[in-house]
Structure 1
């Protein structure tokens, strides 16, 4: 079924729809009790982790549809990211912060413990390199 909304101007139309099904190459959405299929190539990369029953923001241009964003789920909060005027990116986490790859990890836990794991860990400094603590252990 092809759903085309009638718009009074040539500018894009925006609306929210609900995810009905996620296929390998497209997403099925429901809007006003009608079903529409949007190819994944018409979906923003920002919808990573999309689930059935999520609400999404859709843009219609002519008879093409584009999924722009996923709206927050019940109980979900916006990503705690801040970018300040000095160019610093702050990521806040309630319990822990983890950066993970298949061969390494940086973890900051809720107690303030910083853990680095990897095959090799390099630390270089042009000037001073300070290691400070009540006890410092080296191998």
Structure 2
């Protein structure tokens, strides 16, 4: 894709006919791909595919994520239109997170990849053993 087209895409509102190219340095799709495929983004989307969760429920489900990283991840995913944040005016305040229709579509595809990797882990572990044995 021509670099001028990519630069224009970064400055102009979304147009359904605009070609995006994640391999182009300035394409805005690259940031979204990073949010979706990063460790915490992918796990967060996968966890929310199961249903709406409160922040601490989500933090427990995504074992190992810090409060700060989860908060940053949720903000990025919300900004990209993948996650919806609903604050309830209760005391104490209640905030629920759920996937948008776009988020569900993305999470569905991610879960396919997750299940593939989980199902093929015996092969991965065997490959690691062979590699480590050959490189020690």
**Which one has a bigger Cα radius of gyration?**
1
Q: Which has the higher helix share?
A: 2
TM class, shorter-length: under 0.3
**What is the TM-score normalised by the length of structure 1?**
0.25
Kindly indicate whether structure 1 or structure 2 has the higher relative contact order, using CA contacts under 8 Å at least 6 residues apart.
2
